[in-house]
Amino acid sequence: MNPMLTALARLLIFPGLLFAVPAAWFFLWVERKAVALMQERVGPPFMQPFWDFVKLLGKSTPPRPGIAGFIMRAWPLIAVGSAAGAVGLLPVLPASGGFEGDLILLLALLELPSICIIAAGFSSRSIFGEIGSAREAALSVSYNIVFLLAIVSIAASQRTFRLEALAAMHPTFLTVLGIVAILICLPAKLHINPFSLPNAEQEIYSGPMTEYAGPELAMWELAHGLEWVAATGLVATLIAPHIALAWGTSLLAGFIFVVLSVAVVLLLSVLAAATARLAIDSSVRFYWQCTLIFAVLAISSALFVRFWL
Amino acid sequence: MNILTMLWKNLRRGYQTLLFPARPKVTARFRGLVQFDPALCTGCAVCRMRCTSRAIEFKAGKGEFTWSYNPGQCTFCGRCVEGCTEHALKEGHTEHALSQQQDTPPVYTTQGELKTSYTVARRPPASKPVAAPVAAPTPNPAPGGAQ
């Protein structure tokens, strides 16, 4: 098949926008419902994230003239675009036409929404937004070290930066360690408890999103949902060489992908329900003191495997 | 790990939220809307003085007084009932707080809309004291009302 067409199909249909947008709402619902049930609440109805989105789209926003307003409107769109691109890069279906080094592109696209959030908080010129952005920046510096080291150690042990090859690998002790490290970083990446300080709603309203309303806020919600899909999907593709084994039947591969992603969402929901929010210094200390050692161990053993074995 | 077992128990127990028509059970020491008995009230206005949320108003007139209670402003602290020496005020045990009494929660359009007022004729004092106390109860509520 034409590689251009394949890439477009991945970006727009599966696992891109056509799949990822409903999946984003579904994952958001799964997370909210699971946390609610664990707290003995009813939780939102199934269609709630969708209706939230529709309702926000219909609202008008206060006029923000000039370049500042334009920049503020641009951040959520960039975040949605990059998160959707990250989902589109996931190697779910067979012969999906990845290229050498697409892992690095995926990591960059996964990181972009976080940078957009930081910039959006500062460009909204709200004190709560600025505090939230500062927290997000400090947090992202902390968890990204571990996150990147974990992924690089997996990639180095497999001697490739191609996602398709990583998805097809058979799990070794090293990859398991790497996946655990990625899982530890996901709560911070997705802003859920115990690392929900950038949007700590009881303290600083919504942090960087405080000044956003209407369609722009809807875009942020969508970007957040797409981040969920991308992050859990990345773990799902790394966990399961089964997806690669099931490549004969695309339907099965897609199904396993969705089931694994939902399992990761449920795992993170349990963590979110079981923990309280940490202060910024505790969060940073957690990543720098407790987790970094394991990440360094992982990458040094990966390099050892790479060069001496 | 204790929290995980707790979450698991919560999950198995299902949600505890009461959906709309269902109402929470009233406990034995529940304090509901304040009930007023005009037959027992002497118009001393101590309840008005003790009411910290200014839910009780008292107006003294000639030969009668008006006692009014605004449930929208009441915090159900029970201080008025405690202070009522004649036991004219009672805490309603079955009368639930406002939003629970009706099928739909009440909507205020003007202030004090839910207020209930009673205008009570002042009873002649008990027969034992003869002349002086007859004059005394009449001015008594007036300072109480002005406080």
Contact yes or no for A273 and B7 at CB 8 A: yes
**Residue of chain B whose Cα is closest to the Cα of A274:** B3
State whether residue B7 sits within 8 Å of chain A by CB. Answer: yes
User: What's the pLDDT band for A82 if we cut at 50, 70, 90?
Assistant: very high
Do the beta carbons of residue A187 and residue A268 sit within 8 Å? yes
What topology is assigned to B28-121 in CATH?
Alpha-Beta Plaits (3.30.70)
ipTM of the complex: 0.75
Question: Quick check: A39 and B11 CB within 8 A?
Answer: no
Question: In this model, does residue A96 exceed pLDDT 70?
Answer: no
Q: What pLDDT score was predicted for residue A98?
A: 73
Query: Which residues contact residue A92 at a Cβ distance below 8 angstroms, ignoring those fewer than 6 apart?
Result: A14, A15, A233, A237, A243, A253, A254, A257
Give residue limits of the domains in chain B: 28-121
Q: Total domain count for chain A?
A: 1
Domain interval for residue A242: 3-308
Mean of the pLDDT values across residues A68-94?
88
Residue A283: is its pLDDT beyond 50?
yes
- Average pLDDT of chain A is 86
In the three-class reduction of DSSP (H, G, I as helix; E, B as strand; rest coil), residue B121 is classed as: strand
Looking at the partner chain, which of A37, A273, A274 has a beta carbon nearest the beta carbon of B15? Answer: A37
- pLDDT tens readout for residues A141-164: 889 988 888 888 888 877 888 887
pLDDT digits (tens, 9 = 90+) for A209-256: 888 888 999 999 999 999 999 999 888 888 876 555 655 667 777 888
Rounded to 5 degrees, φ, ψ at A50 are -65, -45
Checking if the pLDDT of A205 tops 60, the result is yes
Average pLDDT of A130-147? 90
Residues B2-51 pLDDT 10s: 888 988 998 898 888 888 777 777 777 888 888 899 999 988 999 999 99
Amino acid in the structure at residue B29: R
Residues of A in Cβ contact (< 8 Å) with B20: none
Contact A36 B15 (CB under 8 A): yes
Rounded to whole angstroms, the Cα distance separating A211 from A214 reads 10
B29, A54 Cβ separation under 8 angstroms = no
Q: What is the pTM of this model?
A: 0.77
pLDDT class for B82, splitting at 50, 70, 90? very high
Looking at residue B146, its pLDDT comes to 39
